């Protein structure tokens, strides 16, 4: 028990003293996950819009698949992207395996289904009467889509924040694609896994507190957005 | 301007409109009157090209509307539609009212000037900065009217435009509708369940009952010469009698209804089976001997029921036939009437609308 308490005290010291390694890992985690969230947003919101506004066969089935993939295990997303980026894979020539860019790709793939799904929910939350009003006001199809997306912007932003939360907290894809290389691809989650296995409890707890802190900021942001 | 040709509309298994054919001319105020659920909103949505007819076609300015979405947007931009329950978009009133102008690529300076002008027309000058989603029903209705007018439409579609408004606002909006029509020759199609509003505003009225157009005409025709029993009931003709013409001398017919005979001006010869319609406002009630009236028909009866209707009183009289009269409260008090009291009911021969019926 005393070990844990000691670990906590050391952890707080590491954070307050702005330990360079802790800071570096935190910064890298934020950077990679924010980049992945940005990429996933740019892909997911248009896809969500397309699925919502178009009528096509198999739409219901496609939505069910997307919803199933909300729970896509992070190691499977990691494995999938690993195979794509590995030397013998179709994108091996890009040399992205074991790089931060590769990790961004992995996390992007991981959170796309969640963000497409959240976009769909956000758009179907806009009442039909609003869409009728917009069309009636003389909007072209593109103007209608843009106006409805703007109308759903807070709900869509909620999905984006949720996606970021999933990206920064995942360990499987980061480990498989990044390889947890110190000073290069080591992020909060992979560092916690490694340091704990090496018995470096205080360091793990420090990183854990930071990760929880980020999770809390995300939750508060989500709450504030949904209040709108 | 607008023409519907044999338009049917079905939603799944439900017929919403059946075989609708009518024309609305440029510069008309065309009113759709009918009970809720009769299909008035669907007609307006079809004209605004928000829905498509199941069969039949709609022409706007002589052009078939079954065209590409791009061309339909151009047609839609000639019109504005004020929904019965208008939707507020996120943002303030200015953003809501200016949206249609932004879609049309109008420069910002002109947008500002036109929005200010439109809000002035509906009496909401100081509302530009208000959040649209926080407005009351009546305020939102007026914002919606401003949003419709700001694009200066050639055709204005209004679905129960005053249903949410207080009497003061109703008068203002009705005056606005009339003045738009006279100043800019805006073609207006308006739906209402308020007969009196229909009568006040309309150039022509269409009565919609049971998913069909039952009669189209000016207000005099609709209110005084209804084309059928159903239309008559709809427009408040409460006295409807089936009878037979027993004699006709120079256009003054005697019509026997059960054991009662009334006189009406019509040209149907003796032996014709007819229906007689009399508006309740056309009936005059007289106390005493009833000899003061110059009207052709005077029937003795007993007051069977008295119901207040707004400022008026609705009186049911049993005079061999059951008659309904609407008189002012003052007349009611002056005549000292009450249920059970004897009364004379009188009405003119030319106040009766007579139609043939199948015997």
pLDDT band at A12; cut points 50, 70, 90: confident
Reference B202, options B33, B29, B355, B49; nearest CA is B29
- A13 in reach of chain B (CB within 8 A): no
Kindly report the average pLDDT of chain A as a whole number. Answer: 92
Q: Which one of B47, B48, B73 makes the best mutation probe of the A interface by having the most chain A beta carbons within 10 Å?
A: B73
- A170 in reach of chain B (CB within 8 A): no
Pick B87's closest partner by Cβ from A130, A150, A153: A130
Pick B103's closest partner by Cβ from A127, A139, A151: A139
Among B233, B250, B278, give the residue marking a domain's end. Answer: B233
Among B233, B264, B279, give the residue marking a domain's end. Answer: B233
Complex confidence, ipTM: 0.82
Please, are residues B253 and B263 in contact by the beta-carbon 8 Å criterion?
Answer: yes
Q: Mind telling me how many Å the CA of A162 is from chain B's nearest CA? A: 23
Q: Name, in order, each residue with C-beta under 8 angstroms of A174's C-beta and a sequence gap of 6 or more.
A: A32, A78, A103, A106, A107, A180, A185, A187, A189, A190
Mean pLDDT by 10 residues, chain B (359 residues): 92 88 93 89 95 93 90 94 93 95 96 95 91 89 93 94 84 88 91 84 90 91 90 91 91 90 91 93 79 78 90 90 91 84 90 87
Residue A225: list chain B partners with CB under 8 A: none
Cα torsion B213, B68, B13, A125: sign = negative
Residues B192 and B242 in one domain: no
Residues B65 and B107 in one domain: yes
The tally of domains found in chain A comes to 1
Residues B51 and B64 in one domain: yes
Give me the CATH number covering residue B72. 3.40.50.300
Mind listing the pLDDT tens digit for each residue in A124-155? Answer: 999 999 999 999 999 999 999 999 999 999 89
Contact: B73, A140; criterion CB under 8 Å = yes
Residues B62 and B15 in one domain: yes
Pick A136's closest partner by Cβ from B50, B69, B89: B50
Residues B119 and B241 in one domain: no
Reference B89, options A116, A53, A153; nearest CA is A153
Residue B103: list chain A partners with CB under 8 A: 137-140, 143
The pLDDT of residue A152 is: 93
- Nearest chain A residue to B98, by CA: A137
The C-alpha atoms of residue A63 and residue A166 are separated, in whole angstroms, by 20
Q: Mind telling me how many Å the CA of A218 is from chain B's nearest CA? A: 24
Residue B77: list chain A partners with CB under 8 A: 138
Pick B50's closest partner by Cβ from A135, A141, A151: A135
Residue B45: list chain A partners with CB under 8 A: 132
- Nearest chain B residue to A141, by CA: B69
The tally of domains found in chain B comes to 2
Residues B194 and B340 in one domain: no
Residues B256 and B332 in one domain: yes
Which tokens belong to B102?
């932004």
Pick A127's closest partner by Cβ from B50, B87, B99: B87
Contact: B103, A132; criterion CB under 8 Å = no
> Which helix (DSSP H) or strand (DSSP E) does residue B308 occupy?
strand B297-309
Q: pLDDT: is B335 or A159 the higher one?
A: A159
> Which helix (DSSP H) or strand (DSSP E) does residue A35 occupy?
helix A20-53
The pLDDT of residue B290 is: 54
Give me the CATH number covering residue B260. 2.40.50.100
Laid out side by side, the sheet with B342-347 consists of B284-286, B342-347, B297-309, B312-319, B321-328
* Distances in whole angstroms, Cα of residue B143 to Cα of each of B115, B131, B341: 10, 11, 53
> Residue B180 is part of which domain span?
2-233
Residue A160 confidence (pLDDT) above 80: yes
The pLDDT of residue B291 is: 61
- A197 in reach of chain B (CB within 8 A): no
Beta-strand relationship, B204-209 and B212-217: antiparallel
The C-alpha atoms of residue B159 and residue A181 are separated, in whole angstroms, by 67
Q: Which of A113-117, A210-214, B152-156 has the lowest mean pLDDT?
A: A210-214
Q: Mind telling me how many Å the CA of A130 is from chain B's nearest CA? A: 6
Contact: B76, A140; criterion CB under 8 Å = no
Residues B243 and B137 in one domain: no
Q: Name, in order, each residue with C-beta under 8 angstroms of A77's C-beta and a sequence gap of 6 or more.
A: A106, A109, A110, A172, A173
Residues B211 and B257 in one domain: no
> Residue A113 is part of which domain span?
2-227
Q: Which one of A54, A55, A132, A136 makes the best mutation probe of the B interface by having the most chain B beta carbons within 10 Å?
A: A136
Q: Name, in order, each residue with C-beta under 8 angstroms of B286's C-beta and a sequence gap of 6 or more.
A: B292, B293, B298, B335, B343, B344, B345, B346
Residues B111 and B244 in one domain: no
Residue A78 confidence (pLDDT) above 80: yes
The C-alpha atoms of residue B148 and residue B153 are separated, in whole angstroms, by 8
The pLDDT of residue B293 is: 67
- B133 in reach of chain A (CB within 8 A): no
Contact: A138, B77; criterion CB under 8 Å = yes
The C-alpha atoms of residue A208 and residue B257 are separated, in whole angstroms, by 95
Among B214, B233, B252, give the residue marking a domain's end. Answer: B233
- B70 in reach of chain A (CB within 8 A): yes
Alpha helices, DSSP H, located in chain B: 40-47, 69-76, 93-103, 108-121, 137-149, 167-184, 195-201, 219-224, 229-234, 329-334
Give me the CATH number covering residue A58. 1.10.3720.10
* Distances in whole angstroms, Cα of residue B169 to Cα of each of A19, B143, B152, B207: 68, 12, 21, 26
Which tokens belong to B322?
């059951």
Q: Mind telling me how many Å the CA of A48 is from chain B's nearest CA? A: 21
Reference A31, options A188, A176, A175; nearest CA is A188
Cα torsion B122, B125, B129, B135: sign = negative
Pick B85's closest partner by Cβ from A129, A140, A151: A129
Residues B118 and B206 in one domain: yes
Residue A151: list chain B partners with CB under 8 A: 89-90
pLDDT band at A165; cut points 50, 70, 90: very high
- A227 in reach of chain B (CB within 8 A): no
- Nearest chain A residue to B70, by CA: A140
Residues B163 and B82 in one domain: yes
CA B130 remoteness from chain centre? 34
Q: Mind telling me how many Å the CA of B92 is from chain A's nearest CA? A: 13
The C-alpha atoms of residue B79 and residue B157 are separated, in whole angstroms, by 7
Q: Which one of A55, A133, A135 makes the best mutation probe of the B interface by having the most chain B beta carbons within 10 Å?
A: A133
Pick A138's closest partner by Cβ from B69, B76, B86: B76
């Amino acid at each position: 028990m005393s070990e844990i308490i000691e670990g906590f005290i050391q952890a707080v010291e590491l954070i307050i003293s702005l330990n360079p390694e802790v800071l570096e890992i935190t910064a890298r985690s934020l950077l990679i996950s924010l980049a992945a969230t940005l990429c996933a947003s740019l892909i997911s919101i248009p896809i969500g819009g397309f699925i919502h506004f178009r009528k096509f066969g198999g739409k219901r089935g496609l939505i069910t698949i997307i919803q199933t993939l909300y729970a896509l295990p992070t190691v499977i997303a990691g494995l999938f992207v690993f195979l794509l980026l590995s030397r013998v894979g179709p994108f091996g020539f890009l040399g992205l395996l074991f790089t931060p860019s590769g990790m961004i790709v992995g996390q992007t793939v991981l959170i796309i289904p969640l963000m497409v799904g959240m976009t769909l929910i956000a758009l179907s939350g806009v009442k039909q009467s609003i869409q009728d009003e917009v069309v009636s006001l003389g909007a072209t199809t593109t103007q209608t889509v843009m106006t409805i997306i703007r109308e759903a912007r807070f709900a869509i932003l909620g999905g984006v924040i949720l996606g970021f939360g999933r990206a920064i907290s995942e360990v499987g894809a980061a480990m498989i694609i990044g390889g947890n290389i110190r000073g290069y691809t080591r992020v909060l989650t992979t560092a916690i896994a490694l340091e704990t296995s090496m018995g470096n409890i205080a360091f793990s707890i420090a990183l854990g507190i930071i990760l929880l802190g980020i999770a809390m900021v995300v939750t508060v942001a989500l709450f504030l957005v949904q209040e709108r | 301007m607008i023409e519907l040709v044999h338009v049917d509309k079905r939603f799944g298994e439900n017929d919403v409109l059946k075989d609708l054919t009518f024309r609305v001319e440029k510069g008309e105020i065309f009113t759709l009157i009918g009970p809720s659920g009769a299909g008035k909103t669907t007609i307006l949505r079809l004209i605004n090209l928000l829905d498509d007819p199941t069969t039949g076609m709609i022409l706007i300015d002589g052009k078939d509307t079954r065209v590409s979405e791009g061309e339909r947007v151009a047609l839609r931009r000639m019109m504005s539609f004020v929904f019965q329950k208008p939707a507020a978009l996120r943002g303030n009133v200015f953003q809501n009212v200016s949206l249609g102008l932004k879609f049309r690529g109008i420069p910002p300076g002109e947008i500002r000037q036109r929005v200010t002008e439109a809000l002035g027309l509906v009496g909401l000058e100081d509302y530009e900065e208000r959040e649209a989603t926080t407005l009351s029903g009546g305020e939102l209705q007026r914002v919606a009217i401003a949003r419709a007018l700001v694009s200066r439409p050639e055709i204005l579609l209004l679905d129960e435009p005053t249903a949410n408004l207080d009497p003061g606002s109703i008068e203002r909006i009705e005056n606005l509708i009339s003045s738009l029509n006279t100043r800019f020759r805006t073609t207006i199609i308006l739906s209402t369940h308020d007969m009196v509003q229909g009568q006040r505003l309309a150039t022509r009225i269409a009565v919609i009952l049971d998913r069909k157009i039952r009669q189209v005409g000016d207000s005099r025709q609709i209110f005084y010469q209804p084309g059928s029993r159903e239309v008559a009931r709809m427009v408040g003709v409460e006295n409807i009698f089936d009878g037979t013409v027993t004699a006709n001398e120079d256009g003054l017919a005697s019509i026997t209804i059960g054991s009662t005979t009334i006189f009406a001006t019509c040209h149907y010869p003796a032996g014709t089976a007819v229906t007689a319609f009399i508006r309740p406002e056309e009936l005059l009630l007289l106390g005493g001997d009833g000899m003061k009236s110059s009207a052709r028909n005077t029937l003795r009866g007993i007051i069977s029921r008295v119901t207040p209707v707004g400022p008026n009183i609705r009186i049911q009289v049993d005079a061999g036939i059951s008659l309904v009269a609407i008189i002012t409260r003052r007349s009611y008090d002056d005549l000292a009437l009450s249920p059970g009291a004897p009364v004379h009911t009188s009405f003119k021969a030319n106040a009766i609308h007579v139609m043939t019926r199948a015997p």
